[in-house]
Amino acid sequence: MNFISNKYFVNLNREETVKYLLIEKHIKKLIDTNKIEDGEKLPSIREMAEFLNVNKITVVNAYKRLQAEGYAAQKIGSGTYAKKRDINKNFSREYSKVLKKISSDEVKNYIDFTGETPSGEFFQISFFKSVLNEVLDRDGSSALICQESLGYDGLRNSISDVFWNGNIDKDDILIVSGAQQGIDVVSKAILNTNDTVIVEKPTYSGALSVFKWRRTEIIETPIEKDGINIDNLEKILKKNKVKCFYTMSYFQNPTGISYSNEKKRQILRLADIYDFYIIEDDYLSELIYDDSIKYSSFKSLDSSDRVVYIKSFSKIFLPGIRIGYLIPPKKFKESIQNSKINTDISTSSLMQRALDLYIRKGLWRSYINDLTVVYKRRYVYMKKCIDKYLKNQVEFVEPGGGLHFYLKINQNIVIDSIELFRKSKNRRVLITPGTLFYKVPSEGKKYFKIGFSHVDEKNIESGIQILSELIIM
């Protein structure tokens, strides 16, 4: 409490403006500059009021504001204590503002490692244009006017035939506007306030936001090289009544991890035993570069109808078309369908019909095959550059597919991912800090994600060289 006689407070009682705001401002400055240490007890209200020659109510108001802004915590019967604010908690807003500020024209002047969808340069515009024209010639105004609440019948048939070999009934398929809406629709239908949801640690920030908005109890479980730790999962299940487990089965965002079939089966077995449901976000599973990785979703292994399967075409196809689909368990089919209808009635009829025809003509398979060749080359090159320039600075697990790498800064290096983001932005390189993927943001301060979907080989090398320079500065 020695700071009570600190010179920073000397002129407070001479000011004519609102005094409690000045007290708050000065204490915040002292905490931010470590003049007051985290956890240090602040003077009592009486002591502070006497020292500054102000009314006790003035000090009470100042302390209340400090608590409201996360700079102080009150312990009943003990007093008020300084609290070092976690700057990571507010970083998501800063990150979002930076990306919004950099317009589509300006981003060309950056090496953008933040992209999460394929670049438009590889999309076969002429083919899609011809498909759109064919749909309009075939269906006329119906392509623009008709709205089917569950989705266009033809597209649901195509999904069943092409992606599920007819093993999923088209009436069990619900068309949604991308994976994010799918997660939101499912959450509204089956999750209530205080329900418990298990998520991977770290996990997709969009899913975390949805679960927080639903006021669920979120429990994280660390992810390993082939999926979450099963023993840890079962410990959680024994202690908690869990409603859902949210997972990204392939090239998980952000870690890039894919689940082994053995772990999928173990989790499905536990879902039966402990009566919970699996929300499977099938993310970028089309882009497999490592031949040892074989595709087999949780849903395809599910014999007890425990999986809510969500797939987005927007992630791998055109983000602008905003189309995805989900397959719910029979138990939640009606409630999930109603949740979707209450959200936006229907997804674009024209785009659904165009996508259906695109799939039927075999253009989808052709596009994915071409995309895999291009991105495998970039994947291999980015790994080579990481090994060359960041070898002694980071560690990582090779994902074997997808569109990004998740890197951990070595513990002996001082810089964290937020500082690296800010410094690299000034050098016109954009990265995604790991703090965005954790329930407690500070746990991701040593991690960052770099993607290669919007960056050619020349810029991949230049960008990683710059990151290497900044990490060791």
**Averaged pLDDT score across all residues of the chain:** 89
pLDDT interval class at 86 (50, 70, 90): low
Question: 123-182: per-residue pLDDT in tens?
Answer: 778 888 999 999 999 999 888 887 788 899 999 999 999 999 999 999 999 999 989 999
The listed range with the strongest mean pLDDT (112-126, 345-359, 390-404) is 390-404
pLDDT computed for residue 307 by the predictor: 98
Residue 430's pLDDT band (cuts 50, 70, 90):
very high
**pLDDT reported for residue 188:** 94
Confidence of residue 335 (pLDDT cuts 50, 70, 90): very high
pLDDT higher for 405 or 115? Answer: 405
For residue 85, the model assigns a pLDDT of 64
Q: How confident is the model at residue 400 (pLDDT cuts 50, 70, 90)?
A: very high
pLDDT value at position 148? 83
pLDDT of residue 392: 92
The pLDDT assigned to 8 comes to: 44
Who contacts 83 (Cβ-Cβ below 8 Å, separation ≥6)? 31, 38, 39, 70, 71, 72, 73
pLDDT band at 345 (very low <50, low <70, confident <90, very high): low
Least-confidence region, from 142-146, 223-227, 312-316: 142-146
Given a cut of 80, is residue 3 above it in pLDDT?
no
The most distant pair of C-alpha atoms in the chain lies apart, rounded to whole Å, by 84
Residue 300 has pLDDT above 90, yes or no: yes
> Which pLDDT does position 343 carry in this prediction?
79
Task: State mean pLDDT over 459-473.
Answer: 94
Confidence of residue 88 (pLDDT cuts 50, 70, 90): low
2 or 349: which leads in pLDDT: 349
Cis omega before residue 222 (within 30°)?
Answer: no
State the pTM of this model.
0.81
Q: Does residue 439 carry a pLDDT above 80?
A: yes
Q: What is the mean pLDDT of residues 381-395?
A: 96
User: What is the model's pLDDT at position 275?
Assistant: 97
Kindly indicate the confidence band of residue 1, based on its pLDDT and cuts at 50, 70 and 90.
very low
pLDDT of residue 473: 74
Question: Is 96's pLDDT higher than 90?
Answer: no
What is the band of 347 on the pLDDT scale with cuts at 50, 70, 90? confident
- Separation of alpha carbons 151 and 142, rounded Å: 14
Is residue 176 a contact partner of residue 326, using CB atoms and an 8 Å limit?
A: yes
Write down the pLDDT at residue 87: 55
pLDDT reading at 305 higher than 90: yes
Residue 249 has pLDDT above 60, yes or no: yes
- pLDDT at residue 9 greater than cutoff 70: no
Give me the pLDDT at residue 348, please: 84
**Long-range Cβ contact pairs of 386-393 (< 8 A, separation 24 or more):** 386/464, 388/464, 389/464, 389/465, 389/467, 389/468, 390/464, 390/467, 390/468, 390/471, 393/468, 393/471, 393/472
> What does the pLDDT average to over 397-401?
96
Domains of the chain: residue spans and CATH: 2-85 (1.10.10.10), 88-115+366-471 (3.90.1150.10), 141-361 (3.40.640.10)
Ranges 17-21, 113-117, 206-210: which has the least confidence: 17-21
* Residue 2 predicted with pLDDT over 80: no
Q: How confident is the model at residue 10 (pLDDT cuts 50, 70, 90)?
A: very low
CB 156 within 8 A of CB 173: yes
CB 233 within 8 A of CB 259: no
At residue 4, the pLDDT reads 52
